[in-house]
Amino acid sequence: GNSVTQMEGPVTLSEEAFLTINCTYTATGYPSLFWYVQYPGEGLQLLLKATKADDKGSNKGFEATYRKETTSFHLEKGSVQVSDSAVYFCALMTSYTGNQFYFGTGTSLTVIP
Partner 1 sequence: EAQVTQNPRYLITVTGKKLTVTCSQNMNHEYMSWYRQDPGLGLRQIYYSMNVEVTDKGDVPEGYKVSRKEKRNFPLILESPSPNQTSLYFCASSPLGQGTETQYFGPGTRLLVL
Q: Which residues are registered as beta bridge partners of 57? A: 64
> Which C-beta is closer to partner 1: that of 17 or that of 101?
101
CB nearer to partner 1: pick between 43 and 113: 43
Cα torsion 108, 74, 38, 97 to 10°: value is -120
Nearer to partner 1, 19 or 94 (CB): 94
Question: CB of 38: closest distance to partner 1 in angstroms?
Answer: 8
Could you list the residues that contact partner 1 (CB under 8 A)?
6, 31-32, 36, 42-46, 49, 51, 89, 91, 93-95, 98-106
Compute the least distance from the CB of residue 58 to partner 1, in Å.
15
Please provide the DSSP assignment of 18-61 as one string: -EEE-EEEE-SS--EEEEEEE-TTS-EEEEEEE-STT-EEEETT
Q: At its nearest, how many Å lie between partner 1 and the CB of residue 111?
A: 21
Q: Are 36 and 58 in contact (CB under 8 A)?
A: no
The residue among 31 and 111 lying less far from partner 1, judged by its C-beta, is 31
CB of 26 to partner 1, least distance (A): 14
